[in-house]
Structure 1
Amino acid sequence: MPRKPFVPGAALVVAAALAAGLTACTGGSGSDGEDGDAKSGGTSTSSQAAEPGRYQTLPEACGLPARGTLRDLLPGDGQQLSRTDAKKIYGGQPDITYDTDRRVGCRWTRETTAGTRHLGLDIQRVVSYDAAVSDDDKAQGIYDSKELDAQIPPGGAGSASPGSPSPSASKGGKGKEQGKGTTTNSAPDAKGEKGEAAASGSPSAASSPSGDAGADPTADPSAGLGDSTAPRVLDDLGDAAFLNDKLVTADSGVHRDVTVVFRTSNVIVTLTYDQWSTDKAKLPDSQELQDKARSLAGELSDSLSE
């Protein structure tokens, strides 16, 4: 069944304007000119409903990233892929959702002799059922919670502020206790994390960016990361955005998890990208993973804005 076209919600704004004009025309005008006084409690008095969000539908998640982008994010080790394997890898595995106009997602996995890479995409359209709260404001509240849970240090210009307090201190000490192993930071939860990996028996089935069983709660969140790659707020992506990066060295393997979350109007996009290494002596490169994740996030933001 073909999906309904993805369009912003400008039509609702036009409809609201027409309805307001119709009310003004039928409200009646007395000879004394005292109609429509909002303070008098007359029949023309009405509360102003909050503005709806820009988006009323969502695109098909697995079809959003360009094929060339997916090849860059999920590199091989030189082997030639058959048409069937390429379709399986780059086609993605869609998340199962109850309402594709409210939430969609997709997962990609590629295994090589050097390790495994996973890419996850979750897109949520937020609707406020409170007439006094706009869809955008409701979405911003959800985004703020994600940033708080991720313990992103305060600061702007795409990097952490020098000399800023630790994430736990700057965010009210809200942290998630983890098990044994070591991790450099914690990332926000993402729905359906590593779904395809769990099915294939990948080591990520036992661990995900939302909370690794092998993490050490005493680890320094900024260990091994410079200002340019540390978890931080992003000023050049959507209406609000942040990036999280953590390195996990647990019994099940070594992996780096990069998460980018951004809001555009009433849509929140969560992008998760990780690399597992079969050689524990070779740590996944933070700069490479972050650059690729941010590039895809920018691509998605541009696609949603069209």
Structure 2
Amino acid sequence: MQRKAYVPGVAVLLAALLAGCTSGSANGGTADDSKGSNTGTTASAAEPGKYRTLPEACGSVPHDTLDSLLPGIKQITDEQQREKAYAGDATLTYDTDRRDGCQWKVESTTATDHLLVDFERVVSYDNAVSDDAKATGVFAGKETAAHLPEPSASSSGTDTSPSDTATPSSPASSSGSASDPGSDSASASETPADLQPRTLDGLGDEAFLNDKLSSASSAARQRTVTVVFRTSNVIVTIEYAEQPTASTDAPDSKEMQDRARKLAQKLADALNG
């Protein structure tokens, strides 16, 4: 009896099908393994800021500086009360590595003085934006909100450093900023350019100063000097206010600005180590 002839084409077809199945499973495994490896092309994250922590605000101001800013401290006769005044009161915060502040309020025979020191560490959660860039934007917002006047032609946008010895300013220099609707109504042109609200040179990466005097119609004329500066991703705010006991007196602008700026420089130097 004649056998059926063996058909080579069938064998070839079976071999091709088997090879295809084997190849498909191998390619499938390679695709799964390489799925995560393609993420290596993602751009690297922006640089973090220089500062990862903040100094303790209540311990940041030396006693001799507090004596200058808050003259009433030295007039406190009770030692425990005096030490409490030096210690200050910490402001409410939920994360001292992100924000820390302290305030002092002391009365003297001639005035009531208030000091606030605030440290803010800015962190960017956008991988494309560095902490420094984020802090620059935050600082710009604070400067815009201050409504600083345009620098006069005589000042050419420059700034002078605080003098070693504060000298009394003229009555005109004690007027408030014209940019502040709640300040004295005297025009900014009556205030020397070096005492007007302005940007500051040589303090951190960027800085500005604001100076406000309450209206002449107020019961007591309180002056508030604010200095804000940024160094890397930390923004420091100093608010120094004085309200004389006599309603006819106005706090001296130059003296208060010099004191606030000297404190700002000390804090900047401490941050830079």
TM-score range, shorter chain: 0.7 to 0.9
Question: Which of 142, 148, 153 is residue 152 of structure 1 equivalent to?
Answer: 148
Note the residue ranges of structure 2 that are not aligned, 5 or more in a row. 1-36, 152-156, 161-174
Aligned match of 1:274: 241
Could you say which residue in structure 2 is the equivalent of 1:165?
A: none
Tell whether the 8 Å contact from 1:185 to 1:247 is kept in structure 2 after alignment.
Answer: no
Distance, in Å, in 1 between the alignment partners of 2:198 and 2:119 is 21
- CA distance, structure 2, for counterparts of residue 262 and residue 247 of structure 1: 21
Q: 1:84 to 1:77 in 2, by over 3 A?
A: closer
Q: 3-state SS of the aligned residue for 2:41?
A: coil
8 Å CA contact 1:139, 1:268 repeated in 2: yes
Cα distance between partner residues in 2 of 1:105 and 1:252 = 29
User: 1:287, CA displacement in angstroms?
Assistant: 0.4
2:49 maps to amino acid: G
Please give the per-residue CA displacement for 1:57-79, whole angstroms capped at 9, x wherever unaligned. Answer: 11110000111111111113973
Partner of 1:103: 99
The structure in which a higher percent of residues are helix is 2
Report the alpha carbon displacement of residue 185 of structure 1 after superposing the two structures with TM.
4.9
For the residue of structure 1 that corresponds to 2:58, the secondary structure is helix
Alpha-carbon separation, structure 1, partners of 2:73 and 2:51: 40
Residue 6 of structure 2: aligned partner: none
* CA distance 1:273–1:224, change in 2 (3 Å): farther
Residue among 122, 129, 138 paired with 1:142: 138
What one-letter code is carried by the residue in structure 2 that aligns with 1:98? Answer: Y
Map of 1:243 onto structure 2? 209
Corresponding residue SS for 1:57? coil
TM-score by length of 1: 0.66
Identity over aligned residues, as a percent?
48
2:15 maps to 1:49: no
- 5 Å-filtered alignment, 1:73-222, equals 73-76=69-72, 79=75, 81-155=77-151, 156-158=157-159, 184-185=177-178, 215=182, 219-220=185-186, 222=188
In structure 2, relative to structure 1, the CA distance for the partners of 1:264 and 1:185 (3 Å cut) is farther
Counterpart of 1:227, as a letter, is: A
How far apart, CA to CA, are the structure 2 residues paired with 1:103 and 1:221?
37
**TM-score normalized with structure 2 length:** 0.73
Larger radius of gyration: 2
- What is the root-mean-square deviation in Å for CA atoms of aligned residues? 2.4
Residue among 222, 225, 230 paired with 1:258: 225
Q: Is the 8 A contact 2:76 2:82 kept in 1?
A: no
